[in-house]
Copies of this chain bind each other. A is one copy, B any other.
């Protein structure tokens, strides 16, 4: 087994985030579930956009945010995701490669435009996402570059990949290649509604050993096991997966192994501006820690540090050098 060239390869839906601040009333009037992600079609995208005020556009996509976070920590990351050859797609590729992420998935030349998610930020900093998948529906097994998978310590994938038709196959192909090269495979559950859509598939992959490392927040883990009791869900996931990184917002995070569990505190953040990307950036820190053989507590601490940076401003991509932030806290990256 050769040394990996990449700390992590991230695979996900390549999405441009379109942010707008709204009042709580807006969510009520639109009948939206705060904190969730829903899929919308072109018509609904046009209708909703027309109701939004001033917007900020920043490249996003869950696994894309994680890849960018790892690069900004000074790690080596790669990304697979489908953009179109349009302005949003061009900006997406620029933002990834400009941050140092290896991103070579060919752009779609004839098909739907680059995906966008209209993200409504309420005054409490919570985000509610409305995603038009666009070009993402064309991600296919052909987009899985086996050499990059083989060269990555961990291949990390979104549960959201179950939404577009061909991406699931791409996910499974990547997992197979990774394991054939003795690399690890990781899944984030993405969203509790996503868990509802694909519960049996996700549990199946955990139980058959496809998934080595699971990422989830409390809502998602409880949704996975259809229980309102977090401890019950934790007991269950301990049996189903070798390692689970559980994020708990202001209560920090846990790393749940077969034998023991560690809990780390969250960074204290006075003014939460926008929670978008908190989980993705936690994953960036945790994955880099795993790749660098940090223990679980230290990996989770690095994750919490990254999450704290990204919730202080609009957008799921770090505004400051995460490497500097981490080094100030004593991490030698």
Contacts and interface: CB of A to CB of B under 8 A. Distances in A.
A278 to B, nearest CB: 17
A320 B98 CA distance: 30
A54 B71 CA distance: 11
B59 A99 contact: no
Nearest to A96: B54
A61 interface: no
A52 B313 contact: no
A86 interface: yes
Interface string A78-95: 000000001110010011
A181 interface: no
Contacts of A72: 54
A311 interface: no
Interface range on chain A: under 10, 10 to 19, 20 to 34, or 35 or more?
Answer: 20 to 34
Interface string A34-53: 00000000000000011011
A109 interface: no
B99 A53 contact: yes
A314 interface: yes
Contact of A319 (B21, B52, B98): B21
Contact of A313 (B20, B88, B273): B273
Query: Shortest 9 CB-CB distances between A and B: which pairs?
Result: A87-B87, A57-B57, A53-B98, A54-B317, A56-B58, A54-B95, A54-B99, A53-B99, A21-B319
Interface of A: 20-21, 49-50, 52-59, 68, 72, 86-88, 91, 94-95, 98-99, 273, 313-315, 317-320
